[in-house]
Amino acid sequence: MTVPIGKANLVIREATVLTDGDALASREVHIGNGRIVAVARTGQVAASPRATVIEAAGRFVVPGLIDSHVHLGGTGLPGRDEAEHTDPVRAEPRLADHLACGVTTVADLFGHPPAMFARRSAAAGAPGTLPRVLVAGRGITAPGSHPTSTAYAWSQTLATSAALETDDPARARAHVRQLADADRADLVKITCSDLGGRAPRLSRATLRAIVEQAHGYGLRVLAHVHTDVDALDAVSAGVDGIEHIPAGPRIRQVFAAMADAGTVWTPTLAVMEALAHADRPRAYLDRAYPAMPARLQPAGRALTLAAGQHARVRAAAARRILSATLDGGLAQAVAAGVRIAAGTDAGNNYTPHGWSLHRELHLLRQAGLDGGAVLAAATHVAADKLGRKHAGVGRITNGGPADLLVLTADPRLCTAALTRSALIIAAGATFEPA
């Protein structure tokens, strides 16, 4: 029986739909008013005669990609320009780069909160022209820890605004209430790290207070960590996501604890790879991003900023951590039952917006995820990490946002298919890929 669907203005016909781990052959996706009106077997519903039809036999439709860890204030190039972080308009080309790479949702974690929320408002006010932006707002860290004494130490404005420095449980709870009630933040971002003994780490009491308060509002808590000890403290407190690669001899214990707690891991392999090659950036960028536009390629002095003994020492340490993860560490986590989400830390040096998610997916595949798990990491697992309140994001479902990629090959068999979209659809609007 054919059911009439009068609201659809765009129909993708005869495609294989891949969503939430399922493969639905010979399907039509009906889109109207920026949302998915129906997903049905071909011929089961009748669209409006005025609808645009995309014939997609032999093609695959997947949800728009999610980069669940970015910093929109950062350009991805070396250099320090406070206005890039504080002027929300400066980030619009970076948001456009995400969309051109098939990234329809980003999570902005740490930055200058007024600009972060302004970027979210701009994106929400222009659906179909910019990706969806989720914002953590002002984070929480122990006094003297990351990012106030590290990433933003060069700017008093950013160091003060990016994160509240406190280890007082009551003050931390009050800050979460501010984030939820006044700022309407989408997430809570914290740092749980003592920077190798150079700073205090948030106490377990403060960690628990943050998580309890945030969960009371339905907000997920994501923890920036550096070591296995950091991660164990964060997981035991109930955080929802571990960001970056926790190094140390107790890593198997970390993975077991994460699996038991259902904590999602976002290893941000792209930024770790960039750090691992920061002492020789030109060769690295030529190899990792050969198709990236010239305007995003650093030149001149930007390629000499990494010189020096300190950079070489940091790069060597990053190479050891990255190698351990690619050569079995991530596979151990998956074997233990840890869910992996895709996030890049885009905005940091040599980690370009949009393009770095393509690199992240390649590295996840290299580290041992199969093609289906890579697709999941950049779609429904990333969506689950960010919270169920963002209904339909990362999935293809009736009533959900019409954020889709039309692919020429099955990404479960060829991860590179995710980086070569035939068509990008964001809030029902169609775009040619980069």
pTM beyond 0.75: yes
3-state SS, 322-379, equals HHHHHHHHHHHHHHHCCCECCCCCECECCCCCCHHHHHHHHHHHHCCCCHHHHHHHCC
CB atoms within 10 A of CB 23: 13
The dihedral region occupied by 190, where left means phi > 0, alpha psi between -120 and 50, and beta the remainder, is: beta
Q: Which of 199, 181, 187 is nearest to 239 (CA)?
A: 187
Q: Would you give per-residue pLDDT tens digits along the chain (434 residues)? A: 334 444 568 999 999 999 999 999 999 999 999 999 999 998 898 878 889 999 999 999 999 999 999 999 999 988 889 999 999 999 999 999 999 999 999 999 999 999 999 999 999 999 999 999 999 999 999 999 999 999 999 999 999 999 999 999 999 999 999 999 999 999 999 999 999 889 999 999 999 999 999 999 999 999 999 999 999 999 999 999 999 999 999 999 999 999 999 999 999 999 999 999 988 888 899 999 998 888 887 765 555 555 555 577 789 999 999 999 999 999 999 999 999 999 999 999 999 999 999 999 999 999 999 999 999 999 999 999 999 777 899 999 999 999 999 999 999 999 999 999 999 999 999 988 87
Distance CA 367, CA 218 (A): 32
61 touches 45 (CB < 8 A):
no
CB 86 within 8 A of CB 115: yes
CATH level 3 topology of 65-386: TIM Barrel (3.20.20)
Q: Reduced to 3 states, what is the DSSP secondary structure of residue 193?
A: coil
For the chain, how many residues are written?
Answer: 434
Domain map of the chain by residue range?
3-63+395-431, 65-386
CATH class (in words) of the domain with range 3-63+395-431: mainly beta
